[in-house]
Amino acid sequence: MLLDGKQVELGLWAEVADVFVGPDMDDALRRLRALQHEMDRRYAELARVRRRKVTRTDPVDVIMAVIDELAYYSAVTGSKDQREEFISLVRDLTARGRAAGVIIVAATQRPSADIIPTSLRDLFGYRLAFRCTTDSSSDIVLGRGWAGEGYNAATILPEERGVGLLLAEGGFPRRIKSAYLADADIYGLVDYARQLRTRRTVA
């Protein structure tokens, strides 16, 4: 499930996604409510069979919902009530989803407290901060106090493209470098993903 207010980032992957949502708050809320319902259905089934989580041998797919740009849905479009519901749904899906095979990935270019509330940020087990303009913006992504400990994404130089600080569960932020993908590279990956899906459907 892909949600992209700009349409052009995740939109390149739309043809191999099960669901693609553009700049439409009503559709975004409808899709997230449906995902929440599916998560609750899975937990009811887990409770019935006395299990705590979905495993790779279960006959259910993992569902990944990717949100870009989070700020668009949480602070820009829709009514105040809709924006609050959006954040509430994302918070619930992030908090409870993983054991049911529901994974949330969210990205924003504006790391500020009104975009990423602490109650939401702290639910993510993995946090990646690329170059930020201030120490506080870095801490908003990674967590309070990391900049003072020397893990500060504001110190990443503008020419260090793709460099970021990755905080994984229970660890310390580590400096990583991600690969740059041109549009042609992404379309190549989309073509490959389409082929894999076709093979799985035929099999």
Which of 130, 106, 107 has the alpha carbon at shortest distance from 178?
A: 130
> Residue 65 pairs with which residues in a beta bridge?
104
**For the residues of 128-139, what is the DSSP string, one character each?**
EEE--SSHHHHH
Q: Helix, strand, or coil here: 175?
A: strand
The answer to whether 18 and 31 are in contact (CB under 8 A) is no
pLDDT in tens, the chain (203 residues): 999 999 999 998 998 999 999 999 999 999 999 999 999 999 999 999 999 999 999 999 999 999 998 999 998 999 999 999 999 999 999 999 999 999 999 998 877 777 777 888 889 999 999 999 999 999 999 998 999 999 999 999 999 999 999 999 878 999 999 998 899 999 999 999 989 888 876 66
pTM over 0.75: yes
Instruction: Write down the pLDDT at residue 112.
Output: 79
Q: pLDDT value at position 178?
A: 94
Tabulate helix, strand, coil % of the chain (nearest 5): 45, 15, 40
Question: What is the spatial order of strands in the sheet that 2-3 belongs to?
Answer: 20-21, 2-3, 63-68, 102-107
